[in-house]
Chain A
Amino acid sequence: MAAHRCCFPVWLFILCSFSLFIIAGSQETTVAPEQHASVLDNPQTAAETAEQTAGESGGVEERRWEGTEVRDAAAQKQAEPAVLQPTPQPKDDFQEELVVRPLHSGDIYASFQFRTLWETDFMRGNKVSHYRLFPKSLGQVISKFSVRELHISFTQGYWRTMQWGQPYLPSPPGAELWVWFQDSVTDVDATWKELTNVLSGIFCASLNFIDSTNTVQPSASFKPLGIGNVTDHRFLRYATLPREIVCTENLTPWKKLLPCGSKAGLAVLLKSEKLFHSSFHSQAVHIRPVCQDWQCKTTSWELRQTLNVVFDLHNSGQGKREWSLFKMFSRTLTEACPLASSSKIYIDITDNPEGEQFELSPATSLLSQAMVLGDRRTFSVYDLTQQDTFGSVRSLNLLIRWKSTEGDMLRPLLHAERYVAGYGLQTGEIHTLMYNHHPYRSFPVLLLDSVPWYLRLYIHTLTVTSKGKDNKPSYIHYQPSKDRVRPHLLEMLVQLPPNSVTEVTVQFERALLKWTEYTPDPNHGFYVGSSVISSLVPSTVAMDTNSTRERPLFSSFFPCKEESSYFVRVYTEPLLVNLPTPDFSMPYNVICLTCTVVAVGYGSLYNLLTRSFQIEEPSPGLAKRIANVIRKMRGVPPL
């Protein structure tokens, strides 16, 4: 007993010290990703940076940090009560932002984001008639069609995840539209049809080709990105047009939605001749309700216009690893949009802490960190609202000059591809490959496939294999197609094992179309839209779950619920499938017609001459025959 008593405190002590050790260790691991940031020539702690932004310590240091991202949670909590005070806030607010990410291939990725926030209520029948920054055309669309959320994107080119990493905003080639309607809408399909027609007028696009044959209602994908509790997928519509071309006529109306148009601010860079001379071009409009303050008691409408472009090194860079704003956009910047409350340029310098990869001029002392796509990135910031950003020449022309061609990009953890296998024009097989590059973590992905009706999926041939073994999906939602009415919809929740390739295959048969259903150029083939892969990918750093905190626009699009993982959406390539196509040429048709005439005329005459005709005994009906069999067994005379 005494031994026990004496042992207990010892054990307690050992236990305590051990747990302390563990806590210390865990702290070390969480700090670790920040280490590359501290390599910077003036390392500073988080507390210091918070202090600096709070009280503008002036340009004593060589490099200043933008405080908002690195401010720790305690500082944030202290700041929150200040929001509660009734401060006269502007009703609407406009921000613009350009992020430039130099890619290791020598290409360059530029992402524009323009955000208009408006504290108003389009719903409940109150008429909003006075518009300031928010475009009236879209405001009317929201109130007329009772739209809760609207996401539309036009993309030319395919985003190469393995070369370029994840984009800030993913989008599939062609046009994509998904809309959540208010639950007050009674006839969702009719509203959807009208909405697509109206949007086709606004954006000069062929969105009126969206009809029931390419619209689906995903049951688990495409949850609302804005606030709201209703997730009944009856109010969701999703459609893609993979063939949609994107050109100046789509950019023009898009630019007209901006408060400053293309007259001032970052939008002056949007010259179509340069933007479309690129490897990848994507423009999008996202409308959703967001929280107004940290309590989230009031909502405001957010209009986010984004434009992503990747300039090719050999095409537009003339093979020289050197980029400048002028070279990319054939313009330099002279001012911010006067209506914007913030106007900033971010250059991703995470891989370039000491300037060994590339050189950036003019140099800026302002740095910022942001958690984006599961990683902590460092950015050089140029604030266009400050006059000294433009220097003595009154114009800003950022120059990025590469020094070395080495260096490796962090491989994206999730990536997918898709292709059609098989030969001939009767059957085929769709293969979808999903790669998990994480060395030891598995994570769930939700695959959405919308296949047009003229590819008849043999769903019994659906297989999901990873590492040579059958990988049973934990959720499958399949809606079969109806000819000329609706497409196939296949949704699967699959767990991707660590460091593996998961292959989804399904066979299909190609249907014969009616001859009026062929496009004017049927030999080009028919497009099948991209598969959509939504996933929760484990992140290397703790993600920021506070949705109302002030963050750069590019890192605040997808709301984040938990710290350990981040949401990402990946699109595969669209498929181009050949269907059995008749020869529409004139000689062929003439031959067909003549042969038909000959066959009908000559054949019927031949029949008449060679056949003999006999009268056939009428056979009793089916019911009578079965009854006779039973009567025979009973021994009763047949009918």
Chain B
Amino acid sequence: MKTHVLFNLFATFLLADGLNIEVSVFDFSLQLQISHRFVFLILNFTRNVAPLLINTQLFTRFLSRISQDSAGQFFSSGHTNNWAVLVCTSRFWFNYRHVANTLSVYRSVKRLGIPDSHIVLMLADDMACNHRNPKPATVFSHKNMELNVYGDDVEVDYRGYEVTVENFLRVLTGRLPPSTPRSKRLLSDDRSNILIYLTGHGGNGFLKFQDSEEISNVELADAFEQMWQKRRYNELLFIIDTCQGASMYERFYSPNLMALASSQVGEDSLSHQPDLAIGVHLMDRYTFYLLEFLEDIHPASKANMNDLFKVCPKSQCVSTPGHRTDLFLRDPGSVLITDFFGSVRKVEITTEAIDLTDPIKEVEERYMHSYVDQLPVSEIIHQKPKQKDWHPPDGFILGLWTLILLVFFQTYGVKHLRHIF
């Protein structure tokens, strides 16, 4: 039986105990020209193809996994990729701390392994290169310029005026114009764990964007429901650092959502770390302690969500941080911090040989090229004026002719036409 097998093995490396790397295969796809049935596929596959590859260690491991049906145990959380949407909604220099909040979360998720291509970072104003910043290209989160959260290789995807409610909702729901570049899209699927972090000025049931528009908690809940219906996430962690932040997650109704907020309804979230050199507060209290907590997390750490809920008690925050887990199906104690802040890595193994010899063919051109005159004065002066295009007569002309004809017929009547023709 002649089979053409196109083979993709997705292996995932999970870091366990820091050093031991365990490989597991969770997904494979076969495209056979003849057969359609999956069971039949497996049979064909093991009979015809497997002996060819059986000597590779990976493959034996793969088969054993299949036979034991235990591949799932490495994916107890059920996700295969991680995404983060980090939004600062405040403009103007005195809101420096909101940019620093967002950037500190950005720094943490990037440190824990989410690549820039999987982070959608939205900053409503440019603090780093603001003219009021005494040290350009830096944003500090700690006093005395201790920790620069801006870094040297930041990639901001939406910035300035682009940070609007519309753009934010479009990113979440994926309803973007077709020419939007990949870096500005949330290309998640039903196996994605998404971290959404928002910070800015808010009130009971809304969050202000750029001081000119706001998003309500109902709109946000509907957007998440739309994401769920479009299978755009597996699990979603929502964190908001704003005044009365708990009001923003009250209306959520979609499954697999976990939400955290910096303050309860009726409470203000407070700022932290005033800096005399920069002249503003550097961070908000909640995110400050969140950053301190995240700095201790490493890709293999076993800290779970219950630890995250304990971040910033009222003695430190002044406000009372809240969380909501009733929509979340798993026990928060079994959910690792790195399920949302870290990233699983995907390795794709191909069995095809790739030809690296240069396929570019020589194209012979036999005409002379030349550079163009940069300021061809005589050519410009003697340009021919463009021929006027004919366009249909506009309303005025048509109206005038109608009036003339009307007046003519009203005056002479139809019977006088024979005098003319």
Contacts and interface: CB of A to CB of B under 8 A. Distances in A.
A462 interface: no
A594 interface: no
Interface string B202-220: 0000000011100000000
Interface in B369-396: 369-377, 380-381, 383
Nearest to A200: B181
Given A248-B128, A299-B365, A547-B371, A223 B135 contact: no
Given A474-B381, A520-B212, A623-B406, A276 B136 contact: yes
Interface stretch (A4-12, A356-364, A412-420, A625-633): A625-633
A123 to B, nearest CB: 9
A195 B180 CA distance: 10
Q: Which of A226, A475, A623 has the most CB of B within 10 A?
A: A623
A206 interface: yes
Interface string A268-287: 00011101110000000000
Interface residues of A, number: 77
Contacts of B212: 520, 584
A535 B377 CA distance: 10
Given A446-B380, A639-B410, A223 B155 contact: no
Interface stretch (B18-26, B43-51, B327-335, B353-361): B353-361
A535 B154 contact: no
A296 B372 contact: no
A252 interface: yes
A329 to B, nearest CB: 13
A567 B377 CA distance: 12
Interface stretch (B65-73, B157-165, B315-323): B157-165
A83 B377 CA distance: 35
B163 to A, nearest CB: 9
B222 interface: no
Interface string A291-302: 100011111000
B375 A630 contact: no
B161 A206 contact: yes
Interface residues of B, number: 58
Contact of B361 (A126, A295, A520): A126
Contact of B177 (A197, A209, A228, A634): A197
A249 to B, nearest CB: 4
A334 interface: no
A217 interface: no
Contact of A224 (B184, B372, B380): B372
A534 B374 contact: yes
Interface in B125-181: 126, 128-129, 135-138, 150-157, 159-162, 177, 179-181
B253 interface: no
Contacts of A558: 374
B411 interface: yes
Identify whether the interface residues of B are mostly helix, strand, loop, or mixed: loop
B385 to A, nearest CB: 10
Contacts of A295: 368
B91 A624 contact: no
B181 A296 contact: no
Given A209-B161, A273-B137, A296-B370, A198 B181 contact: yes
Interface in B82-97: 91-92
A249 B159 CA distance: 10
Interface in A212-261: 219-220, 223-229, 231, 243, 245-249, 252-253
Interface of B: 91-92, 126, 128-129, 135-138, 150-157, 159-162, 177, 179-184, 210-212, 356, 358-361, 363, 365-377, 380-381, 383, 403, 406-407, 410-411
16 contacts: A130-B359, A130-B360, A197-B181, A198-B181, A200-B184, A227-B372, A245-B160, A247-B128, A248-B137, A248-B150, A272-B152, A276-B128, A296-B368, A493-B381, A536-B375, A567-B375
